Amino acid sequence: MGLFDFFKKNSSDSKQIDRQQPEPINNNSYLLETLRSRLIELGYHVDKHPQYLALIVNSEIEIATVIIDNPNNHPSILHLMILTIQSKYFPKGIEENIVGVGTNIQDKVNSVIDNYINTTFLPIIDSFSDSHNPDLDFSIIMDGKEVLWHPKLGNLTLQGQWNDQPENEPFFEIIKDKLKDKLTSNKLNWLKLYISKRADGTIIGECLFNNEPWEDGLAYITEYSKSWKLKSDFQGLKQFIMFRKCDACDE
């Protein structure tokens, strides 16, 4: 069953419940409505999906969410799986697992929505525009032609306690020159980076390029994490990056 099939199924179940008794408070529905309100405040046009428990932003991006109920999570943590779909550029969706923290459902929902918007949604929506930061742009040779790329960086998320916070954009600086053989000719490419280190030296990470594991990328950020001097038992870094091919380089 696909993720959207799950949402469709739960939508049908809810309608059945409606005919029998008042619908109970649903945290996922509350989260989606809060996300909808927040995106409208930011100036986006947002509709409810007519079939799934999802939102449609600017008539082209679909956002679906499901709260993961994990009994092993701390009571103050809300774990959200969120799928962002665009039929032309990423029809299979960009999946993220994000957490929010709070003492009640309202605080946890606000926290996880802030996390999603600042780390993932903003670079995704910005990738539909040719706006760019010249200081981040880079060029590579593709099929014998020079192609200019506009990176769209989500906020760098820090986990744990840090002695000294990373300066500038360490993930981007590490991987940008390594992408020359990785970027496809598609208009949009994307990269998810995560690395964490524990006091005993254990390092856990993930590097996904266009939804596929990129082992070399993981090796690069793993090497970077080895230099960390830990202040506590754990610290980690996470970032999401979109790459848009410059309009001037389109064939």
Give the separation between CA 56 and CA 211, rounded to whole angstroms: 21
- Determine the pLDDT at residue 223: 95
pLDDT of residue 171: 94
User: Both tokens of residue 108?
Assistant: 């946890």
**Rounded to 5 degrees, what angle do the CA atoms 21, 22, 25 make?**
135
CA dihedral 163, 191, 187, 167 (to 10 degrees): 10
Per-residue pLDDT of the chain (251 residues; tens, 9 = 90+): 344 454 444 444 433 323 333 333 588 899 999 999 999 999 999 999 988 889 999 999 999 999 988 777 788 899 999 999 999 999 999 999 999 999 999 999 999 999 999 999 999 999 999 888 999 999 999 888 999 999 999 999 998 888 778 888 999 999 988 988 899 999 999 999 999 999 999 999 999 999 999 999 999 999 999 988 887 889 999 999 999 999 998 86
3-state secondary structure labels for all residues of 129-156? CCCCCCCCCEEEEECCEEEEEEEEECCC
Report pTM: 0.85
Which residue has tokens 């109970």? Answer: 24
Go through the chain and tell me how many residues it has: 251
Using CA atoms, how far apart are residues 111 and 157, in angstroms rounded to an integer? 13
